[in-house]
Amino acid sequence: MKNISKIKRKIRTRAKVKGTGSKPRLSIFRSNKFIYAQVIDDEKRQTLFGLSENNLPKKEKISKSERAKELGIMLAKKALDKKIKEVVFDRGSYQYHGRVKQVAEGAREGGLKF
């Protein structure tokens, strides 16, 4: 039952959010340990690039939320290197809260526009 509800939420969100070549979709996946982010062009059905917390430099005693914000900043830098300035944010089935929100704020801080 829980998975069905999660899938329904994801479909509802995805129906409203489409990524194009000029404005790709920034998709978030959150597990208990890590958070992952991908930039996707839905027209070509191609993942342009993806990052996870495993790509971040190791720091001691840093919270998951702070790591998520660093991931957003790093993602924005990589997107700007590939000449992507605007994205559509896809939170998937997750609430815009906590680590998902921190990734979005970090990406905005890094220079991406939503």
Split into its structural domains, the chain has a count of 1
Q: Which of these, 101, 86, 90, 113, lies nearest to 16 by C-alpha position? A: 90
Q: For 50-107, how does the pLDDT look when each residue is reduced to its tens digit (9 = 90+)?
A: 999 988 888 888 899 999 999 999 999 999 999 999 999 999 889 999 999 999 999 9
Confidence of residue 18 (pLDDT cuts 50, 70, 90): confident
Angle, alpha carbons 27-30-34 (nearest 5°):
120
Range of the domain at 46: 2-110
Rounded CA separation 58/62 (Å): 9
pLDDT, residue 72, reads: 95
**What CATH number is associated with residue 32?**
3.30.420.100
Report whether 25 contacts 17 (CB < 8 A). Answer: yes
